[in-house]
């Protein structure tokens, strides 16, 4: 039975930094579970690990595609399993790290994902309907087609709503029927958390740092490379708001405030994926220096004979 460590939790709780510390202490390597860090040229806005950290510890599934290429959950799952198998063949410990709940579940939950290829024409039609009639229209359609999937998707996340509808309409398979089988990988899941006020302060500080590091120039560089503002990759937090600023829709100050507000909302949604009361997640408050207790828990997990430590 393969064993991995997963580090989850909302944005800005220090998952990447903790993972590097654990990897250095345990001889591990990091497998990213972030849906945005897969894209090249998008470093600041996705909060990618620094070059220094990536030199210290090998990181996998980062910078593997360009913003104009489709990247599906099925593709991610395949790459993650390949990376984990390679790490373990070399006698290393794999640490799955990130805040994209569906990506984490695709690995730890043994999801069987419908192999439905993107349908550009259908997506375009759905995007046009969303533009004409609003995101709520598409969400209502998803509620009719697959109410179980609709319950787990934010109506304003048009990209995910369209993908769920795409699966339903193209394959005739409800998106919610990502059948959960017995996990192939025994996983210890650790979660990082903090108070709501502290989390918001951390988010706001990180957004300010992104601006100082050159987020505006990063977005301008993407546009100069010819990447369309309409690409799904360009709709991520930070990029969408800065594009609006560059096109004259908002001032920089307004864009920054919008990024902070939307990131607060995103963090709340992440807690919906990684529920604090989930008995399978060992939660640690980041204000209480969790490195040592997490290390102790990992040592106990890797030396135990059971499949999971809960």
- Structure token pair of residue 78: 């395949």
- Do the two domains 2-113+180-303 and 120-177 of this chain adopt the same fold? no
Residue 2 has pLDDT above 60, yes or no: yes
The domain defined by 2-113+180-303 carries CATH number 3.40.1160.10: no
Q: pLDDT-based confidence at 308, cuts 50/70/90?
A: very low
Instruction: Give the pTM.
Output: 0.83
Q: Which tens digit of pLDDT belongs to each residue from 151-168?
A: 878 888 888 888 888 888
Q: What is the pLDDT of residue 181?
A: 58
The domain defined by 120-177 carries CATH number 3.40.50.300: no
Domain boundaries, the chain: 2-113+180-303, 120-177
Residue 172 has pLDDT above 80, yes or no: no
Residue 187 has pLDDT above 80, yes or no: yes
Q: Which tens digit of pLDDT belongs to each residue from 202-225?
A: 999 999 999 999 999 999 999 999
Q: Which tens digit of pLDDT belongs to each residue from 227-275?
A: 999 998 999 999 999 999 999 989 999 999 999 999 999 999 898 888 7
Q: What is the pLDDT of residue 211?
A: 98
Q: What is the pLDDT of residue 81?
A: 94
Helix (H), strand (E), coil (C) string for the chain: CEEEEEEECCCCCCHHHHHHHHHHHHCEEEEECCCCCCECCCCCCCCCCCHHHHHHCCEECCCCECCCCCCCHHHHHHHHHHHHHHHHHCCCEEEEECCCHHHHHHHHCCEECCCCCCCHHHHHHHHHHHHHHCHHHHHHHHHHHCHHHHHCCCCCCHHHHHHHHHHHHHHCCCCCCCEECCCCEEEEEEEEECCHHHHHHHHHHHHHHHHHHCHHHHHHHHHHCCCCCCCHHHHCCCHHHHHHHHCCCCCHHHHHHHHHHHHHHHHHHHHHHCCCCCCCEEEEEHHHCCHHHHHHHHHHHHHCCCCCCC
């Amino acid at each position: 039975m393969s064993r991995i460590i997963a580090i989850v939790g909302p944005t800005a709780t220090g998952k990447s930094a903790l993972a590097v510390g654990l990897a250095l202490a345990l001889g591990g390597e990091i497998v990213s579970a972030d849906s945005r860090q897969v894209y090249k040229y998008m470093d600041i806005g996705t909060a990618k690990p620094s070059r220094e950290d990536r030199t210290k510890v090998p990181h996998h599934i980062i910078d593997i595609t360009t913003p104009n290429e489709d990247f599906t959950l099925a593709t991610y799952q395949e790459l993650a399993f390949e990376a984990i198998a390679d790490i373990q063949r070399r006698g290393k410990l794999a640490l799955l790290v990130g805040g994209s709940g569906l990506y984490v579940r695709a690995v730890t939950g043994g999801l069987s994902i419908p192999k439905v290829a993107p349908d550009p024409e259908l997506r375009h039609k759905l995007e046009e309907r969303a533009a004409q009639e609003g995101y709520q229209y598409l969400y209502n359609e998803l509620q009719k087609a697959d109410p179980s999937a609709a319950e787990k998707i934010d109506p304003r996340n048009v990209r995910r709503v369209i993908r769920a509808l795409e699966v339903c309409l193209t394959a005739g398979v409800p998106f919610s029927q990502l059948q959960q089988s017995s996990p192939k990988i025994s996983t210890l899941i650790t979660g990082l958390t903090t108070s709501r006020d502290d989390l918001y302060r951390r988010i706001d500080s990180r957004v300010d740092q992104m601006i100082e590091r050159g987020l505006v120039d990063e977005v301008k560089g993407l546009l100069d490379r010819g990447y369309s503002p309409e690409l799904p990759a360009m709709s991520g937090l930070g990029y969408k708001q800065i594009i609006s600023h560059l096109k004259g829709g908002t001032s920089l100050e307004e864009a920054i405030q919008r990024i902070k507000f939307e990131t607060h909302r995103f963090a709340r949604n992440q807690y919906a994926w990684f529920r604090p009361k989930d008995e399978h997640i060992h939660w640690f408050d980041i204000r209480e220096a969790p490195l040592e207790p997490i290390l102790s828990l990992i040592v106990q997990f890797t030396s135990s004979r059971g499949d999971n430590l809960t």
